[in-house]
Amino acid sequence: MLTTRRSIPPSGIRELQEQMSACVDDVALWTRSNRLQLNTGKTEVLWCATGHRQHQIPHHPVRIGDWIFPADSIRNLGIYLDSDASMRVHVSKTVSNCFAALRQITEYTKVCPKAGAGVTGRLSGLVTPRLRQTSPVFQGTSSIGCTPY
């Protein structure tokens, strides 16, 4: 992952884009010389700014091997990052995954009504792995406090 963190005025965006393109070209040259390949098809660009400066984020493509349009959000190491650093996308995706697991639990308890509450507690294991998968904050935790009723 290549990350550049800089605070620049809006007038410096073109220069930063040229520097980023030159940097990625150097990385691509290094990878080729070491018999590796840079996958520009998986490369994403995310411009970040505060909520008050979102209107200043450029929306024209950046040359990173190919021409890439900046994304509103990207996924990196299981966390969704968005351009205003609000974590809205990450929270929304995590909640969506958990509700999908809860719907599976509901369907299972409808099919097996005699199984009782113990099954519901065990099936909460469908939610906890999804939380761990979508949020590195929960990596390595043994329990999130899901208590069967």
Q: Quick one: average pLDDT of 6-28?
A: 83
% residues pLDDT > 70 (the chain): 71
Question: Does 15 or 85 have the greater pLDDT score?
Answer: 15
CA distance 121 to 127: 10
Q: What is the reported pLDDT for 148?
A: 43
DSSP one-letter string for the chain: ---------GGGHHHHHHHHHHHHHHHHHHHHHTT----GGG--------GGGGGGS--S-EEESEEEPPPSEEEETTEEEETTS--HHHHHHHHHHHHHHHHHHHHHHHH-GGG-HHHHHHHGGGHHHHHHHH-GGGTT-S-------
Task: Supply the pLDDT for residue 131.
Answer: 62
Mean pLDDT for the chain overall: 75
Q: Tens digit of pLDDT for each residue in 53-108?
A: 888 877 888 887 778 888 888 888 778 888 887 888 888 888 888 788 778 777 77
**For residue 126, what pLDDT is reported?**
64
**How confident is the model at residue 35, as a pLDDT?**
93
Q: What is the largest CA-CA distance in the chain?
A: 67
Q: Tell me the domain boundaries of the chain.
A: 10-82, 88-137
133 with 78: CB under 8 angstroms?
yes
CB neighbour list of residue 72: distance below 8 Å, 6 or more residues apart:
82, 83, 89
Position 123 pLDDT exceeds 90: no
* Phi, psi for 49 (deg, rounded to 5): -155, 160
33: left (phi over 0), alpha (psi -120 to 50) or beta: alpha
Q: What is the pLDDT of residue 120?
A: 58
What pTM does this model have? 0.59
Q: Say yes or no to pLDDT of 125 above 60.
A: yes
The token duo for 84 is 């205003």
What amino acid is encoded at 105 in this protein?
A: I
